[in-house]
Amino acid sequence: MSKFAIEVEGLRKTFGKHTVLDGIDFTVPAGTVYAMLGPNGAGKTTLIHILSTLVAPDEGSVRVAGYDVVTEKHDVKRSISLTGQFAAVDEVLTASENLRMIGRLCGLTAAQSRARTDTLLAHFDLKEVADKRVKTYSGGMRRRLDLAISLAATRPVLFLDEPTTGLDTISRRALWDIILQLKEQGITIFLTTQYLEEADQLADLIAVIADGHIVATGTAEELKARVGGEVIELRNAQDELIQTIPTTGSISDVRRTLNELSSKVSQEARVSIRKPSMDDVFLALTTKKLEGAAVL
């Protein structure tokens, strides 16, 4: 594979009159985790579908694992796995049986497939129900099995579309661990998420998509730095957040802000100053009001 696991240039996709992707360019270095952040309807799923050959691009060049998604579709398919790819889990089989079957289908030996199955069952907290038929599972258990199945065979590029939506905290952290382990093995992971903390924790690079364009790309630190300055947080005596105020971080600006506030809030209020969080970044980059400034 080339230096880049994913190379996208001038990608456009329109549904009817609605242009969802309006000229997207980005590259994902091989062996990294890349997170695509964007509000509902921004086109994240459409992008993942194009990258995984399920939807054809209208314009532009899209290469995954070195292959063109239009002219070398089959090579792309052999190089990727996708959450939900095997969503049709066999209801009559158990979790164990499903996982071992997929492992074998994807070319693992029986022993490798058994070992991988045990690891995944443990990671996703499915050990206790491993030998029960899938049709008896709860929604959350199915979702976890779905993810485990998409990880049963390791391919060079893994796509995860909002992988932790609907998972409880323990399963979410387990999935984060697995993602980082896969990265250690040299696998490239492209994920979409609505959890800014997730992008912050996992991704080497983050792209923010809004209105059909990538409005910012960088490491979590770079994106935070682009929003600039500091954020003043005001908390009450019970340590509940009352207000968040952006500031340049200069003494004069902090002093002016506090002076303005002191007439309005209780003198018991506590003040802290912190770097902007991913939430602050996300809001700043995706709200219309700040679009001018978002040429950040």
Residues near ligand ATP (CB under 6 A) are: 15, 20, 38, 40-46
Q: Check binding of 194 to Mg ion (CB under 5 A).
A: no
* H helices present in the chain, as ranges: 44-51, 73-79, 95-105, 110-123, 139-150, 169-184, 196-202, 220-227, 251-262, 278-286
Euclidean distance between CA atoms 129 and 127, whole angstroms: 6
Q: Which is nearer to Mg ion, 45 or 257 (CB)?
A: 45
CB of 52 to ligand ATP, least distance (A): 13
Q: Which is nearer to ligand ATP, 40 or 252 (CB)?
A: 40
Q: Bridge-partner residues for 189, per DSSP?
A: 33, 158
Q: Which is nearer to ligand ATP, 44 or 116 (CB)?
A: 44
Counting Cα atoms < 13 Å in the Cβ hemisphere of 203 gives 28
What, of ligand ATP, Mg ion, none, does residue 43 touch, CB below 5 to 8 Å by kind? ligand ATP
CB of 162 to ligand ATP, least distance (A): 6
CB of 40 to Mg ion, least distance (A): 8
CB of 83 to ligand ATP, least distance (A): 13
CB of 214 to ligand ATP, least distance (A): 13
CB of 172 to ligand ATP, least distance (A): 17
Q: Which is nearer to ligand ATP, 42 or 102 (CB)?
A: 42
Euclidean distance between CA atoms 194 and 198, whole angstroms: 8
Euclidean distance between CA atoms 295 and 70, whole angstroms: 32
What, of ligand ATP, Mg ion, none, does residue 98 touch, CB below 5 to 8 Å by kind? none
Residue nearest to Mg ion (CB): 45
Of the candidate residues 19, 32, 45, 194, the single one contacting Mg ion (CB under 5 A): 45
How many CB atoms are closer than 10 A to CB 244?
Answer: 14
Euclidean distance between CA atoms 150 and 190, whole angstroms: 14
Q: Which is nearer to ligand ATP, 70 or 106 (CB)?
A: 70
Euclidean distance between CA atoms 64 and 53, whole angstroms: 10
What is the full DSSP assignment across 247-263?
A: E---HHHHHHHHHHHHT
Among the listed ranges 6-14, 40-48, 53-61, 80-88, the one in contact with Mg ion (CB under 5 A) is 40-48
Six token digits for residue 139: 């929604």
Residues that bind Mg ion (CB under 5 A): 44-45
